[in-house]
Amino acid sequence: MGYKIRECRKEKKMSQCELAEKSGVSRTVISGLECGSITTTTTDTLLKIARALNKKVADIFFET
């Protein structure tokens, strides 16, 4: 999951701080998800990150 967040964020040329600001999710949580120190999170957080990246939740968080 974290790899996909990072990949999508970099594709949009966004920093973690920019994603945090746009999504309303703290940079600490985004960093934790990307590096794997946070492995579970709420549906609300997933939706906020996906929307900020203009992606569907499934595109980021589920293998297809």
Q: How many domains does the chain have?
A: 1
* Residues contacting 24, CB < 8 A, separation 6+: 48
Mean pLDDT of the chain: 92
Task: Quote the CA–CA distance of 26 and 39 in Å, as a whole number.
Answer: 15
Position 63 scores a pLDDT of: 63
φ and ψ at residue 12, rounded to 5 degrees:
-85, 0
Confidence of residue 2 (pLDDT cuts 50, 70, 90): confident
Per-residue pLDDT reduced to its tens digit, 32-55? 999 999 989 999 999 999 999 999
Chain centroid to CA 54: how far?
11
Residue 11 is part of which domain span? 2-61
Contact in structure between 10 and 54 (CB atoms under 8 Å): no
Q: Is the pLDDT of residue 56 over 80?
A: yes
Which CATH number belongs to the domain containing residue 54 in this structure?
1.10.260.40
Contact in structure between 36 and 2 (CB atoms under 8 Å): yes
User: What share of the chain in percent tops pLDDT 70?
Assistant: 97
